Structure 1
Amino acid sequence: MLTDKRILLIIGGGIAAFKSLDLIRRLRERGAWVTPVLTNSGAEFVTPLSVSALTGEKTFRDLFDLTDEAEMGHIQLSRSADLVVIAPGTADLMAKMANGLANDLASTLLLATDTPVLVAPAMNVRMWEHPATRRNVSTLRGDGVMFVGPNEGDMACGEYGPGRMSEPLEIVSAIETALAEGPLTGRRILVTSGPTHEPIDPVRYIANRSSGAQGTAIARALTAMGADVVFVTGPADVARPEGAHVVEVETAAQMLDAVQAVLPVDAAVFAAAVADWRVASASDSKIKKQKGAIPAMEFAENPDILATVSQMASGRPPLVVGFAAETDDVIDNATAKRLRKGCDWIVANDVSPETGIMGGSENAVTLVSDDGAEHWPRMGKDEVAHQLAERIAAALG
């Protein structure tokens, strides 16, 4: 898939820069051509000589290189690649991108390019979680910039959390997805998946039996068709879809925040089984069992994520797809839900115990839309996902 593809690799500053050397090797193994750009901070961690030795290309560093700039070399560099990859993507470099700054070679290339851009962020967990970084990431996503990672793990600084750069093979997979030609290439799609966990106290929670398998399969199918997929998931049991940008949440309120941060998108598929209610005042400490005394719990309604997005006055995705897991009167309930929520389609499935659907490997769904109810035969969840992805591609043209 990467044979003769041209990758412009910008190596930012940070200890994760050492992974960029392995990334270059992996890309070259797959037949890609890699043109390296090394920032001044990046050169503190890896040398131009090591980068050039692995790429077989000159390592570019200086915006005002007289030889290269005689013919506006930075413009040519920015537009001759099939994909621009930033690994590691530092907080500083993303801030420059989000605000249109161009005071060195890397930032100038990024402002001058009309080539798709993929960022592999790497930074301290506090920097990643800082409101300024979150704003910048949201801005860049809105501009069409793609992301892979960051992962959770131990930091070089001794802290733990999200901020580790994705592993080289993860980045290669994201590059292959970004360069894949398919009916959804250039489309950005949101998929929610899994259950939500609503805490009762630090050790107990309200949840449901959703495994997240169907939402994951949908994300994989959309990615395979070339879509840039943002996958917002609750605490699901299944592996996360490769090639998608994964956002992990726990509660319904967190899922709504994550969804709103992702917008705008071309389509949104709400496959998550969001808890309808939460405990109004979760206990900060474990509720102790007392003989003969059953604790009284007051419940509050969770935000309705599907209705919130479907009924947005501005910025509503052109296509909003909801799910309805029903045990009785499946079509009638799903049809009423579509009208009540305001979404375009409802994927209805019968999850009554005798079907074995909930938590199983198969699904039997009915697609409810303005055109009526279309029954699909029982099939594997991957097949359901592929068929739904094809319908989404057709709807988006």
Structure 2
Amino acid sequence: MRKTGVYRNELFLEHQPGFSHPESPERLRVIYEALDKGDIAEHFLFPGFDPVSQEVLRLNHSAAMVEQVAATHGQGHTYLDPDTQTSARSYEAACFAAGALVDGLVRIEQGELDNAFCLVRPPGHHAEQDGSMGFCLFNNVAVAARWAIQELGMQRILIFDWDLHHGNGTQKSFYDTDKVLYISSHLYPYYPGTGAVIEVGNSAGAGYSLNIPLPGGQGDMEYARIVNELVVPVTRAYQPELILISCGFDIHDGDPLGSMQVTPAGYSWMTRQMLAVADEVCNGKMLVTLEGGYNLTAMRDGCFAVLAELCGKKLDCGYPFNLSKEKADRFAASSVACPALDQSLQIVRGYWPGI
């Protein structure tokens, strides 16, 4: 059984982007309530943590952008873009969200945790250097990666983003560097319009942004192929010192904003494979952070599928997420047709021979 940290805070429920907004506090509330049932919490550690400072946020964001979000503190609803609203405590919640990731990295690096899942909001992967967008205030995973490079001296960090939407902000943050390898599987064309297969990075970053743009309708077997044939082999070739996962549950079958067909078994498989390659290349150092997902049942079941794999223990709480051996064997041997993956592999092999 691994030492798995779970980062939660009631403050994350105080971010109120507006009535009927899909990125609602209920997304986390349903997960927090499930964590508190029975003996589930006994399998995890729940560290206390602090918000990041503006100095840390400026590792990835402009001073003007940080000040713009900070100015919303204590205010009523403020629109940062047509989809992205804040309430009185949103800035505070966003600072704690990034703080959860940074604290998780500290504890993983020190050996206090083997891995962690940051159950935070607002999400982050759309936020760019100069602006909040797409429900995201600050880019949590990019801030954490920047911090790991500066404070931990890391030179190779892998970010795998399986959210339904392309993480434009994360990609832009590291488009010109080889210190972060960003891999994204996402619905395309779709919001935010980025993530074409030809977007591979510039200068020193050429080949370090890898995109798998999908047409929709892909499920567990297609995602198993993506992980088995592209993500894991490239991870082995890159030999990262740390793996970060931008985990979106909006690829779940039935998500109101998506058209994918992934089930909890698919999340289990992807997490299991990423943990295995993390054990190979970086002593198991892996941190997962929550991004999108807007079907509450899917959020809960997907989250526990990931958590069960992270801690390495079957969680008997009545939800259909535990991965059977039969399904695992099928996922391992998946050869289902996925032309979008085949196209991405052609691009990837130009930068990563032997994949």
**Bigger-Rg structure (1/2):** 1
Which structure has more RCO (C-alpha within 8 Å, separation ≥ 6)?
A: 2
When normalised by structure 2's length, the TM-score is: 0.34
Structure richer in helix, relative to its length: 2
Structure richer in strand, relative to its length: 1
